[in-house]
Amino acid sequence: MLVYTNPAQLVKAFFLFLPLEALLDFGPDVLASILYRYAGIELSVLSIGGQRKRRYVVYVKSVSFLRSFESGLEQIVVTGLYYPLFEEMVFRGLPYLLGFGVIGVGLGTAIWVLLHPVWRLKMLPVNADTGTKLKMFTIDVVDYSIAGAWLSWLWLNGWGVLAVAYHIFHNFLVVAPQVFPEGFAWLSSKFKLPWPG
């Protein structure tokens, strides 16, 4: 079992593999957003003011949160740090570290993939028809399967620490702009970042 732990090597590898992370983790999210729009899937989400709004998903994992600074920070810590660490260790790390190899990591990833679309279905309007639910479920399974295969490949090649780091990086970049949009709008205006605030 090969596990890379040298900090300098991990930092170098983080940046070396970053284009693959963008392609295989964020790329499927963009594709899913396009497929959502094409399939006519609208999400019903709670806005900042507590009113239910229906809108097309702009970014497949976008959710607006009810928030104060404290609850927003909690959401970032839980979704951006705790969930990725927990998910990577339970669904890929333990099977890998216990020596179950491709089969263990593959089964763990399959369970991880199926868990995500299930909770995301709650974002559909209450009266959404079964066909819409099946389309959303299928799009999400494809999205998470590609990301899961990428993270599994990292584990199976000894880069589990990178899988955890990329998962944290991904969740943080998805959740933080939704929790604190005004901060990201300010940051985007100062640095001309490629994503909207």
Number of separate domains in the chain: 1
pTM over 0.85: no
193 assigned to some structural domain? no
Q: What is the pLDDT of residue 47?
A: 41
Cα–Cα distance measured from residue 195 to residue 33, given in angstroms and rounded to the nearest whole number: 14
CA-nearest of 175, 155, 181, 195 to 1 is 155
| Angle, CA 160 vertex, CA 155 and CA 163 arms, to 5° | 95
* DSSP state for residue 188 in the 8-state scheme: H
* DSSP state for residue 107 in the 8-state scheme: H
Cα–Cα distance measured from residue 17 to residue 15, given in angstroms and rounded to the nearest whole number: 6
Q: What is the pLDDT of residue 184?
A: 63
Per residue in 98-117, pLDDT tens? 999 999 999 999 999 999 99
CA dihedral 133, 43, 54, 127 (to 10 degrees): 20
Cα–Cα distance measured from residue 170 to residue 176, given in angstroms and rounded to the nearest whole number: 10
Cα–Cα distance measured from residue 72 to residue 61, given in angstroms and rounded to the nearest whole number: 16
Kindly give the interhelix angle for 69-77 and 160-179, rounded to the nearest 10 degrees. Answer: 160
42 assigned to some structural domain? yes
2 assigned to some structural domain? no
194 assigned to some structural domain? no
127 assigned to some structural domain? yes
CA-nearest of 120, 21, 114 to 128 is 120
185 assigned to some structural domain? no
139 assigned to some structural domain? yes
Per residue in 144-182, pLDDT tens? 999 999 999 999 999 999 999 999 999 998 888 777 776
187 assigned to some structural domain? no
pLDDT along the chain (197 residues), means of 10: 80 95 94 90 56 42 55 86 96 95 97 92 85 94 97 95 96 83 65 51
Please state, for a pLDDT cut of 70, what percent of the chain lies above it.
78
Domain that residue 111 falls in: 7-178
